[in-house]
Structure 1
Amino acid sequence: GMDRMRWQEQVAESIKNCVFFVPVFTERYLNSCAVGDLAAWRTSAATELRLALSLKSTSFIVPVIMDADVNAARLDERVREMFLRGFFLKVSRGSLDEQLDRLHEYLSKKLPEEKKQETNKSTTDKAQPYLDFLN
């Protein structure tokens, strides 16, 4: 409804500002090991980028486009929670591919090690190594 229209307007404005926020990967994504093929992985990320706030598919990274000073309270609740926890990496449009390459390389090395750990840890606990990398 109106909320989605307002969000789409924000997305359009954010694209003009060339600001991207890339959230930490969802637990399902981390468990999928879908990082073997860089080209396919980057395409999936770009697809999620176009989907923006739908968040109906959580199998891959869900980049969210927003302006740097967007009011977090106006975001979808799940995105708002991630945003307020700082689960975002700000990159410029020009460095997005490079950033995805770095994330892919990092995940490819870290994922086998992460998967050996207990699977009943909270998503926040699982995300911490990635937050350390992003920060």
Structure 2
Amino acid sequence: MDMKMSKKKEVKTNDNGKISFGGKTVRYDLYVKDTLVNFTGKPARAIATNGKLQAPTLYFTEGDTAEIYLHNMLKENAGLHWHGVILPNEMDGVPNLTTKEIKPGETHLYKFKISQNGTYWYHSHEGT
């Protein structure tokens, strides 16, 4: 029986020696601004991200570099905080604790390496 041997493919590993298939830079632009909603017959203020009440799902592959630009179009300070994501402390997004507050009209870049796979969540910090 003739068997052809396939060539070995080189696979990158991260610092933990785990296989990583990522490695690209993935950019998202998040624009936060005031909007009006009316669920009860009475208009109320809400904060929209990219024109929607629910912030978008962000997709990455382990090994990618995340670049998330937060464009603060509010009349108050803003920020993003990440839960469960291993990242540098200065990217954690808690205004005046780990990250500088993002003032109205400013844009802030959150940039970090995606070092583990999984499902995580983020939320805003506003009015800080």
Q: TM-score range by the shorter chain?
A: under 0.3
Using CA pairs under 8 Å that are at least 6 residues apart, name the structure with larger relative contact order, 1 or 2.
1
TM-score (norm 1): 0.24
Provide TM-score, normalisation by structure 2: 0.25
Structure whose residues are more often helix by fraction: 1
Tell which structure's C-alpha radius of gyration is larger: 2
Structure showing the higher strand proportion among its residues: 2
